[in-house]
Every structure is written in structure tokens, then in C-alpha cells.
Amino acid sequence: MVKVSVYKNENNEYVGFTACGHAGYAESGEDVVCAAISILTINTINAIEEFTDVKSSLTSNDEEGRIDYRITGTPTKESELLFKAMVLGLQNLEEEESYSAYIDLIFEEV
């Protein structure tokens, strides 16, 4: 199972996420759940870095299937929209009956 923790600040703004684990839906290289989560999270990071000026930090560990991304500066309207798009995709994945056992989406205030 992949656990995705999405972080919001006291102003209810998205400020980061941690995704950890392997879905286990299928063999490595054929796991569509892992692929979907990876695409959503990595594209969000790339889009925030490309289209906004927010400061951020990123750490990852491929063996653990772990990626930790945090906005270290002030969130912007653009970063908020990009996070909302990622969350929408993750929620749709979690709500899909065939995939719900392979993803755990959690929201935390930091």
C-alpha cells in the first residue's frame, strides 16, 4: 500500500506531501497504481517548480518508494491550484473500488 500524507498549514493552504511505500497491485514495472501515484506526485512537483516561484525542498528514496516534498516559502495561488489537482487525482484513485486497497490518502495540519 502507498500511504500519501498531504500537508496543510494553519491557513488551510497546501504546503507539501509525503508518499511512501509500494502499492503491490501488480509486479514491478506493471503496477498501474504505483505509476498513477508517481505521475501525479512527480508532475505536481515539476509543475510547481516550473510555474511558480515558491521555495521548496525535496527528498526521495527509490528503494522505500518514498518522496517528501515541502513548500518552505509562502504558498501561492498557483501552487495551491496544482496541489488541488494532485489531490483530486489521488482521491479519484482512492475512491476507485479496484484500487482503493492500494492507496491510503491522509490529510495533516503542519
Burial class (CB in 10 A: 0-12, 13-18, 19+), 68: middle
CATH number of the domain at 2-109, please?
Answer: 3.30.70.1490
The predicted-structure confidence for 53-82, as pLDDT tens digits, reads as follows 999 999 999 888 899 999 999 999 999 999
Task: Kindly give the residue spans of alpha helices, DSSP state H, lying in the chain.
Answer: 32-51, 77-95
Check the CA dihedral 96-4-17-42 and report its sign.
Answer: negative
Query: What's the pLDDT tens digit per position in 81-110?
Result: 999 999 999 999 999 999 999 999 999 999
Boundaries of every domain in the chain: 2-109
